[in-house]
Amino acid sequence: MVSQIETKTLYEQDFCLWAETMANFLKNRQLDQLDYENLIEEIEDMSGSQKDALESNLEVLLVHLLKWKYQPNKISNSWRRSIFEHRKRIFKAFRKSPSLKRHFEQVLDEVYDDARKSASVETRLPLKNFPESNPFTKEEILNEVYPSDLIPG
């Protein structure tokens, strides 16, 4: 029998073993053995991590869409690949956690503002060259064939 003190120590010393131990306690319905405090924290952190990843992928996607729109003479295959890759990651996140679609809508304006600043830094164009309000619809952001020549065929 493992004590609460031992599981808290295990959490600090070997997270992977702690997680496996908690999973075994749950499987065996040994609820009195669970390290509730750290388990709750980890579950809450998992949600935050998924949201952070979505925001990061959305920002990269928006930066490349802005560069595509406002620096068309510099369009490159790496931009195409990045747009494709980050859309793919967002779609995968939505498949795994459909509730992230709601988070996407909640943070879109905030993430756009960060993307606008990043696009200005990357392109060396003045910030005023990029609109203060997001010029892309949600459909354009998530549409696999926007910009129109992104994917051949």
Band (pLDDT 50/70/90 cuts) for residue 4 is low
pTM of the model: 0.77
pLDDT above 90 (res 38)? yes
Of residues 67, 61, 59, the one with CA closest to residue 122: 67
The C-alpha torsion from 24 through 26 and 30 to 33, rounded to 10°, is 80
Query: What one-letter code names the amino acid at 76?
Result: S
pLDDT above 60 (res 21)? yes
Give the integer Cα–Cα distance in Å for 116 and 123. 11
User: Kindly report the CA angle at 11 between 7 and 15, in degrees rounded to 5?
Assistant: 130
Give the integer Cα–Cα distance in Å for 6 and 104. 40
10: CB partners within 8 A, 6+ apart: 2, 17, 18, 21, 35
Band (pLDDT 50/70/90 cuts) for residue 151 is very low
Band (pLDDT 50/70/90 cuts) for residue 9 is confident
**Block residue for tokens 């859309």:** 87
Give the integer Cα–Cα distance in Å for 151 and 138. 18
